[in-house]
Structure 1
Amino acid sequence: MISYKSFIIPAFVCITAAVACGRPEAATPKENGTLDSVIRNVTTAPVTAEEETDYTKLNGKIQANEDHQAKVYALASGKIKSVNVALGDKVQKGQTLAVLQSMEVAANSNDVALAEANVTITKKNMESTKDLYDGNLATERDYLSAKVEYNKALSELNKAKQVQSITGGSNSLYELHAPLTGYVIEKNITANSEVRQDNNNQLFTVADLSNVWVIANVYESDISKIHLGDEVTVTTLTDPNKPYTGKIDKIYNVLDPATRTMKVRISMPNPNNELMPEMFVTVKVNGKPTGNMLSIPSQAIVLDDSKNFVIVKDTGGLHIKEVQLIKRVDAKAYVTGLKQGDQVVTNSQVFIYQALSE
């Protein structure tokens, strides 16, 4: 039997007066008026039967989709002349991110100019030698030698142009361009700083954030509950009331020995760029339904002496009923000890509970 104490609203003043008889002073009209006012303005919520779905709660964060991002390195050493973008800026493909002054680029430009001049000279020499050869004033060997020198000059020019096309730039200026349209999510240079070609750190990272990754950590005890293709609900600290839905599309079958966690990935569409890299998120992995359970607002529960109680309102008044709490899920509590349709008090319930318990 579930123990409960009942209380009928019309009799409330009588009971309060009776209890007060044993005290030095009776309750004042102001005190009774306050309690009556609370009872008149009490709000309730119905007990509902819901199909409860078991879930696993994970913590994670947003990362840029590695398939939709590009890291920008300098292919030549030099000094930063100007930085044209800031962290978080949106850039278009081909847009100049920064400009360097580089001796290497200047040397490449000089090599191209020298190679072009050498091609011009060797070409004229070959043509003159051919005329002499046609007039029997030069040997065939002289003509073939001039032709070889011309071809060598063409090869050197082609090589110099290829080097210039790889490093980019002209004269002494080297420009870093955005390889794709997106946002600058990493920036590691400032104006007037020096850049070395052998530096392993990227200068910029540009990412298309229309699709991002949610990387979540799975504790060792929960690994058996996680499967490829499981549907998930993702919420952020920025707006906990706005859920994003997705599916687990990759499981990293490696356990981090330090944290004892395994990582999973959810690819998440992000058309409005609301999900930003490094945001912390909560991921709920939905499981199989476990059947109907009685649900009430969590705030309706009053904890007293390690037991859980609610205030039930019916035609007879207000009653205290003990309930067994199965679990809490966000703003809901799943309980036993009530009937579907019962009305539980959801405001001032602690105050009313104390009054009914006297």
Structure 2
Amino acid sequence: MNNLLKLILGALLLLGVATAGYWFGMYSTSAAKETASAAKTERKVLYYRNPMGLPDTSPVPKKDSMGMDYVPVYAGEEATNQLNISTDKVQKLGVQSAAAALRELDRTLRVTGRIEVDERRTYAISPKFEGWVERLYVNTTGQTVSKGQPLFDVYSPELVSARGEYALALQGLAALKDADAETKAGMQQLADASRSRLNNWDIADVPLPSPQSSPASGRGGEREKQSSIPDNSRVTFRAPVTGIVLEKKAVQGMRFMPGETLYQIADLSSLWVIAEINEQDIGQVHIGNRVQVTVDAWPERMFDGKVDFIYPTLNSATRTVQVRIELDNPKGVLKPAMFANVRIAVGQSGKVLAVPTSSVIDSGTRQVVLVRLAEGRFEPRAVTLGNRSDNYVEVLSGVAEGEQVVTSANFLLDSESNLKAALGNMSEAQKNTLTPALSHGEREQIVGHQAQGTLDSINDDGTVSITHEPIKSLGWPGMTMDFALANSSLAAGIKPGSAVSFEIVERTPGEWVITKLQARHGGH
């Protein structure tokens, strides 16, 4: 009886333990589901990104032009744009990088121009009185003259009369030296007026007539005195500056009127270069910029100058602004009207943060660089750019000093980032009808996609037509497609109809390039 009671009590105890375990398990499962559900519910959608990796986001769900759904980006997933590529693949792609560093951007603006005479060094010889040209000393255009060199002699009745009046006034002052003050003052005013008239004609330094000799001197003495007196009825005009005769209108024996230009002389020791600057570049040119000029006549020589003036108007036909450059002309080798090749240093002074121009990927709407975070790990960064030089560009934001940016093969890495976006966002209908795709973690490691098929033909445009088997990594079914070749030599020696294995990379969205192609053994 006791044994039976113990057996019953043991069975009841086991039943109670089993019941308690069942309820505990059910509760735990329910709690886990509730926790998971709560965790799933708490995930916050930050925005929706373009499924093809284009720089386009939306705060609400939408579809792209191909009908593909934009992909939600949850909190904590903002850094999913990083690329992880194997070291072997990095070496295969030939990825190189350089550090963002402080550099001086010495940009050179190359334009064309023409050499012209410096307007400030041009002189016109224009007598201020009427007269006749009696003798020419410089009789050809283009002749070189020195400062003070005689140009021509003129005769003018007005000049003779004015000089005679001045001479008489001076003789009167001498004769009235003992007269009263009022008389001497009147004669002095007459002399001053005559002198001012000569000064206004720029001939005040012409010698005046000497007093007439007395008859008692005899014929021989009078003739001797006149031979020592200069001919005061003529005036010799001299060159005001050393230079070249640009224009000569004077002809021996011609009559000229007041203000008529008889000679034009230019000092060519310094010239102007008038350069044409495009409208979009004029903001970089400033007065004082250093300039180097070459001409076709002496291509091996470099002439140094500086920007002297920026003209205030724009040529509406050529959309250019003229810039005046002051240039020394040693030994007169440069000639007015020559064409010139001008290089203007327009770089700003001081160092700025800059990266190589080859590192920038310009999509048209934004500029991106690929930052090398670690070996095989890259991150695309949108950057704001500033001034440029021939090899470097200023970075205003997006990259810090010392960070490594990709300078070569960056278009392949950019294609990889677009490829990942496409792989992760194919429609559910495609996934159900195609062969199973790789997991997201596996796809992130893929740059090139391996495939097999049959080479149908080599097209005239350099592409190849291949009927390929399903490509698991892309979720593509078997189909016939045309592919571009990264190198035309890849298809060398492979005949149409051969079974091939190949590797493809998406260079730009929708453009697939074969980077490796070889015939399979035993294929036909």
> When the two structures are superposed, what TM-score results if normalisation uses the length of structure 2?
0.38
Matched-pair contact (CA < 8 Å) for 2:304–2:328: no
Output the amino acid matched with 1:290.
Answer: D
What is the RMSD of the two structures over their aligned residues, measured on CA atoms?
3.6
Q: Which has the larger radius of gyration?
A: 2
1:51-62, aligned counterparts within 5 Å? 55-62=108-115
Aligned in 2, Cα 1:225/1:71: closer, same or farther, shift over 3 Å? same
Q: CA deviation at 1:123?
A: 4.0
Provide the C-alpha distance between the structure 2 equivalents of 1:198 and 1:91, rounded to a whole number of angstroms: 22
The match for 1:155 is 189
Q: CA deviation at 1:251?
A: 1.3
Is 1:291 matched up with 2:391? yes
Matched-pair contact (CA < 8 Å) for 1:62–1:277: yes
Output the amino acid matched with 2:151.
Answer: L
1:46-88 Cα distance to aligned partner (Å, 9 max, x none): xxxxxx9764443322223344443332122211122222323
Output the amino acid matched with 2:154.
Answer: L
Is 1:240 matched up with 2:295? no
**Aligned-partner SS, 2:390:** strand
Provide the C-alpha distance between the structure 2 equivalents of 1:257 and 1:81, rounded to a whole number of angstroms: 50
The match for 1:211 is 270
Q: CA deviation at 1:92?
A: 2.4
Output the amino acid matched with 2:127.
Answer: A
2:124 to 71, 86, 94: 71
Provide the C-alpha distance between the structure 1 equivalents of 2:303 and 2:259, rounded to a whole number of angstroms: 42
Aligned in 2, Cα 1:150/1:247: closer, same or farther, shift over 3 Å? closer
Q: CA deviation at 1:284?
A: 2.8
**Aligned-partner SS, 2:141:** coil
Output the amino acid matched with 1:187.
Answer: K
Aligned in 2, Cα 1:123/1:54: closer, same or farther, shift over 3 Å? closer
Matched-pair contact (CA < 8 Å) for 2:144–2:244: yes
Q: CA deviation at 1:106?
A: 1.4
Provide the C-alpha distance between the structure 1 equivalents of 2:318 and 2:187, rounded to a whole number of angstroms: 62
Q: CA deviation at 1:152?
A: 1.0
Q: CA deviation at 1:274?
A: 0.7
Output the amino acid matched with 1:98.
Answer: F
Matched-pair contact (CA < 8 Å) for 2:294–2:341: yes
1:192 to 243, 250, 253: 253
Aligned in 2, Cα 1:150/1:231: closer, same or farther, shift over 3 Å? closer
Is 1:98 matched up with 2:157? no
The match for 2:456 is none
Aligned in 2, Cα 1:114/1:65: closer, same or farther, shift over 3 Å? same
The match for 2:136 is 83
1:66-123 Cα distance to aligned partner (Å, 9 max, x none): 4444333212221112222232333222222122111221121221233234334544
Output the amino acid matched with 1:177.
Answer: R
Provide the C-alpha distance between the structure 1 equivalents of 2:186 and 2:320, rounded to a whole number of angstroms: 61
Aligned in 2, Cα 1:259/1:157: closer, same or farther, shift over 3 Å? farther
Aligned residues: 228
**Aligned-partner SS, 1:243:** strand
Provide the C-alpha distance between the structure 1 equivalents of 2:119 and 2:329, rounded to a whole number of angstroms: 14
Moved beyond 6 Å, runs of 4+: none
1:1-358, aligned counterparts within 5 Å? 55-85=108-138, 86-123=140-177, 126=179, 144=180, 147-167=181-201, 168=203, 169=206, 171-199=232-260, 202-256=261-315, 260-288=319-347, 289-291=389-391
Output the amino acid matched with 1:111.
Answer: E
Provide the C-alpha distance between the structure 1 equivalents of 2:149 and 2:323, rounded to a whole number of angstroms: 35
Matched-pair contact (CA < 8 Å) for 1:56–1:225: no
Aligned in 2, Cα 1:211/1:118: closer, same or farther, shift over 3 Å? same
**Aligned-partner SS, 2:327:** strand
Provide the C-alpha distance between the structure 1 equivalents of 2:248 and 2:318, rounded to a whole number of angstroms: 29
Q: Percent identity over the alignment?
A: 29
Aligned in 2, Cα 1:287/1:253: closer, same or farther, shift over 3 Å? same
Aligned in 2, Cα 1:262/1:119: closer, same or farther, shift over 3 Å? same
The match for 2:519 is none
Output the amino acid matched with 2:240.
Answer: P
Aligned in 2, Cα 1:148/1:93: closer, same or farther, shift over 3 Å? same
Provide the C-alpha distance between the structure 1 equivalents of 2:335 and 2:156, rounded to a whole number of angstroms: 35
Q: CA deviation at 1:190?
A: 2.5
Provide the C-alpha distance between the structure 1 equivalents of 2:144 and 2:116, rounded to a whole number of angstroms: 17
1:223-272 Cα distance to aligned partner (Å, 9 max, x none): 23433333333122323343323222321222245654322122112222
Output the amino acid matched with 2:267.
Answer: D
1:181-203 Cα distance to aligned partner (Å, 9 max, x none): 3333333322223221143xx43
Output the amino acid matched with 1:231.
Answer: R
Provide the C-alpha distance between the structure 1 equivalents of 2:341 and 2:254, rounded to a whole number of angstroms: 40
> When the two structures are superposed, what TM-score results if normalisation uses the length of structure 1?
0.54
Provide the C-alpha distance between the structure 1 equivalents of 2:142 and 2:169, rounded to a whole number of angstroms: 43
Aligned in 2, Cα 1:260/1:160: closer, same or farther, shift over 3 Å? farther
Output the amino acid matched with 1:78.
Answer: G
Provide the C-alpha distance between the structure 2 equivalents of 1:70 and 1:198, rounded to a whole number of angstroms: 13
Provide the C-alpha distance between the structure 2 equivalents of 1:100 and 1:87, rounded to a whole number of angstroms: 19
1:258-311 Cα distance to aligned partner (Å, 9 max, x none): 654322122112222111223222223345533289xxxxxxxxxxx9xxxxxx
Output the amino acid matched with 2:141.
Answer: L
Matched-pair contact (CA < 8 Å) for 1:70–1:205: yes
Provide the C-alpha distance between the structure 2 equivalents of 1:155 and 1:259, rounded to a whole number of angstroms: 62
Matched-pair contact (CA < 8 Å) for 1:94–1:179: yes
Output the amino acid matched with 1:92.
Answer: S
Output the amino acid matched with 2:194.
Answer: A
Output the amino acid matched with 1:89.
Answer: Q
Higher relative contact order (CA 8 A, sep 6+): 1
